[in-house]
Chain A
Amino acid sequence: MELFNIFIKAAFIENLVLAYFLGMCSYLAVSKTVKTAFGLGLAVIFVLGVTMPVNWVISEKLLSEDGWFGVDLTFLRFILFIAVIASMVQLVEMIVEKISPSLYNSLGIFLPLITVNCAILGGSLFMVAREYNFSESIAFGLGGGFGWFLAIIAIAAIREKIRYSNVPPALRGLGMAFILTGLMGIAFMSLMGIDPTALTAGK
């Protein structure tokens, strides 16, 4: 139940894109069609879901003072996190290239750029700051990824729809995407404030 709460919270209530505005660059750039957005969203779910527990092991067992070495190495956190994320992204890239070359081509540079997608590094840093344990970090990673995935396919569907709208020329493309993201953020505020842990504690 605790894990489910963390999943729901990361996916809907504290959505990485629409509540923290993390991972905006690929979110805005790849959301032109639902198909590519879907592929990138799945890649982000995978990378977040895998890097989070790996990074948990690194930060708890290698870098912390209570870990195996007994030395405080937390200054290495950022570089090690990035290294883990980069290697995972490499893995995803190889898989996508093998399975679906068309998706690989349409994602282009944004697939390797997941490495510097701040939603993913941000997720790992949230995990450290909130002191999740191993299984909680998996739930948080999958939930955060799922929230990112939902946000990007929702905006992609809207952008496919407004392609036929008479948008003022100055706002076409990115301008509209920014306005849409803001409006979606307002809509997602509906769930902000729900505290799943408090609800289950009452039971």
Chain B
Amino acid sequence: MALSDFLKSKEPDKKTSPFLHTLFDGFFTFLYSPNHTTKGGVHVRDGMDLKRLMIHVVLAMQLCFVFGTYNMGHQHFVSLGVHTGFVEAIHLKLVYGLIQLLPIFIVANLVGLGIEFWYAAKKGHGIEEGFLVSGALIPLISPPDIPLWILALSVAFAVIIGKEAFGGTGMNVLNIALLSRVFIFFAYPTTISGDEAWVAGLARDANDIWVSNYSWIHTGFFNGIFEFFGANDLFDPAAKMVDGYTGATPLSLAAAGGWEAVTNVYTPSQMWWGSIPGSIGETCKPFIIIGALILIATKVASWRIMLSMVVGAAITAMLLNAWDANAFMAVPWYYQFYMGSFFFAMAFMATDPVTAASTNRGKIIYGFLIGMVGMIVRVLNPAYPEGWMLAILFMNVFAPLIDHYVLESNISKRLKRA
């Protein structure tokens, strides 16, 4: 108990410096769960408090972080036509990915947590942990080359309008991470669409040729370190994009030319294992499924939503197969799951316990409708390449309504039985 005594002695005074006190309190409760008891009313007490619940989600997506970091570097070098094997020049790819990912992660968390801390100090309550998960999700769903000021703006919008206006953690109606992503999508459409957005570190030079976009930290600092340790592979500032490379994601290929166009560029196993361009964390399906299983095993996320979402998407894709009006609809329904961010949305987005329906029957309806709407938006809506983000937001709006009618029907059923 020595550590807790030491920390307690350092606790700032709540009256004289409220902001420091909230800051201290936020980190203190990371280490020790508070032992105040509630007075009045009935409360469930459990060691699994909000902070520990959230940390489970963050842990479940660690594999996606590792893979996403590496894949970002890998895609960058593939576009330049060097180190195209997946396990070549591991040091370069990891370093490159980290240099891209860390600023995104730091900015997203700094802005989001900063706003949370400020509100907590102003309202005089402890820090609500809601942003832990959002702050980990936002980097994973960002395109690799997102400008940091746009990211900061979108996070600020999502946290202030989407959460603090509703009263803070646990009260929001729309998923915060998705709201920030959708803000970027609609407010700055050019940064998040088009094929170039999904590969990091390319820029047009004066002759309108795509070249690598390295800064001093790549060519000066890290090349120096690699040379010191005798590595042969270095960041090459003169590298150019290979001819014919587009960086198109499987979905944009499928929208243009169906499954055949996709398999001309990517193999199904490549798509399944995730060495394709895309948002940072969405590409590797097996790792996402491992994360989903962790969430189900720890009962943090609802298996009902995940299962019904898979069923809804599969049924819709089969119906679209049967309709078969264009090449995208004809993509075999099981291959629809290989492309895009279905699994990521299923595991980490749709199961958000705050914005999803909260009754058991409601969860099944909610997940099923997300699957349907998402597949419809993906395939039938030419304006958007992928549908899950918008489908989940769409169903977030209707989740309270679903709950309302599930409750009403339960009430009337029980009244009849009585």
Q: Which of B35-43, B104-112, B387-395 contacts A (4 or more CB under 8 A)?
A: B387-395
Residue A162 at the chain B interface, CB threshold 8 Å: yes
Residue B325 at the chain A interface, CB threshold 8 Å: yes
Task: Point out the residues of chain A lying under 8 angstroms from B326, CB to CB.
Answer: 199, 202
Q: Tell me the nearest residue of chain A to B168, going by C-beta.
A: A166
Number of A-B contacts (CB under 8 A): 100
Q: Which of A19-27, A45-53, A188-196 contacts B (4 or more CB under 8 A)?
A: A188-196
Complex Cα distance, B165 from A203, in Å, reads: 47
Q: Which of B57-65, B91-99, B136-144, B171-179 contacts A (4 or more CB under 8 A)?
A: B171-179
Task: Give the distance to chain A from B358, nearest Cβ to Cβ, in Å.
Answer: 10
Complex Cα distance, B168 from A184, in Å, reads: 19
Residue interface mask A150-178, B partner, CB < 8 A = 1: 00011001101110011110010000100
Q: Tell me the nearest residue of chain B to A167, going by C-beta.
A: B167
Task: Give the distance to chain A from B173, nearest Cβ to Cβ, in Å.
Answer: 5
Complex Cα distance, B165 from A99, in Å, reads: 40
Residue B404 at the chain A interface, CB threshold 8 Å: yes
Task: Point out the residues of chain B lying under 8 angstroms from A165, CB to CB.
Answer: 166-167, 171
Judge whether A183 and B161 touch: CB under 8 Å: yes
Grouping DSSP codes into helix (H, G, I), strand (E, B) and loop, the A interface class, with mixed when no group exceeds half, is helix
Residue interface mask B156-197, A partner, CB < 8 A = 1: 000001101111100101100001001100100000000000
Residue B280 at the chain A interface, CB threshold 8 Å: no
Judge whether B403 and A203 touch: CB under 8 Å: no
Interface core residue of A176, A195, A199, A202 (most chain B CB under 10 Å): A199
Judge whether A183 and B325 touch: CB under 8 Å: no
Find B171's partner among A162, A180, A190, A195 (CB 8 Å cutoff). Answer: A162
Interface residues of B in 382-401 (CB under 8 A from A): 382-384, 387, 390-391, 393-394, 396-398, 400-401
Find A186's partner among B164, B382, B384, B393 (CB 8 Å cutoff). Answer: B393
Residue A200 at the chain B interface, CB threshold 8 Å: yes
Residue A179 at the chain B interface, CB threshold 8 Å: yes
Complex Cα distance, B174 from A203, in Å, reads: 37
Judge whether B167 and A160 touch: CB under 8 Å: no
Residue B245 at the chain A interface, CB threshold 8 Å: no
Judge whether A187 and B380 touch: CB under 8 Å: no
Judge whether B162 and A187 touch: CB under 8 Å: no
Residue A86 at the chain B interface, CB threshold 8 Å: no
Judge whether B165 and A190 touch: CB under 8 Å: no
Q: A157-B403, A200-B325 are in contact. Are A187 and B167 (CB under 8 A)?
A: no
Task: Point out the residues of chain B lying under 8 angstroms from A160, CB to CB.
Answer: 400, 404
Residue A103 at the chain B interface, CB threshold 8 Å: no
Residue interface mask B106-132, A partner, CB < 8 A = 1: 000000000000000000000000000
Judge whether A157 and B404 touch: CB under 8 Å: yes
Task: Point out the residues of chain A lying under 8 angstroms from B165, CB to CB.
Answer: 167-168, 171, 176, 179
Interface residues of B in 245-268 (CB under 8 A from A): none
Q: A160-B400, A161-B400 are in contact. Are A190 and B391 (CB under 8 A)?
A: yes
Judge whether A194 and B401 touch: CB under 8 Å: no
Q: Tell me the nearest residue of chain A to B324, going by C-beta.
A: A203
Task: Point out the residues of chain B lying under 8 angstroms from A168, CB to CB.
Answer: 164-165, 167
Task: Give the distance to chain A from B405, nearest Cβ to Cβ, in Å.
Answer: 8
Complex Cα distance, B384 from A153, in Å, reads: 27
Task: Point out the residues of chain A lying under 8 angstroms from B228, CB to CB.
Answer: none
Residue B219 at the chain A interface, CB threshold 8 Å: no
Residue A34 at the chain B interface, CB threshold 8 Å: yes
Complex Cα distance, B394 from A168, in Å, reads: 25
Q: Tell me the nearest residue of chain A to B377, going by C-beta.
A: A190
Judge whether A183 and B179 touch: CB under 8 Å: yes
Residue B29 at the chain A interface, CB threshold 8 Å: no
Residue B6 at the chain A interface, CB threshold 8 Å: no
Q: Tell me the nearest residue of chain B to A195, going by C-beta.
A: B382
Complex Cα distance, B325 from A200, in Å, reads: 8
Complex Cα distance, B2 from A169, in Å, reads: 43
Task: Give the distance to chain B from A191, nearest Cβ to Cβ, in Å.
Answer: 7
Complex Cα distance, B373 from A194, in Å, reads: 12
Q: Tell me the nearest residue of chain B to A203, going by C-beta.
A: B325
Q: Tell me the nearest residue of chain B to A175, going by C-beta.
A: B165
Interface core residue of B182, B377, B397 (most chain A CB under 10 Å): B397
Complex Cα distance, B167 from A48, in Å, reads: 37
Complex Cα distance, B381 from A180, in Å, reads: 25
Residue B323 at the chain A interface, CB threshold 8 Å: yes
Interface residues of A in 33-90 (CB under 8 A from B): 34
In addition to A167-B171, A180-B173, A194-B376, 15 A-B residue pairs with Cβ atoms within 8 Å of each other are: A34-B401, A154-B397, A154-B398, A157-B401, A158-B397, A161-B173, A168-B167, A171-B165, A183-B161, A186-B179, A187-B390, A187-B396, A190-B393, A193-B383, A195-B382
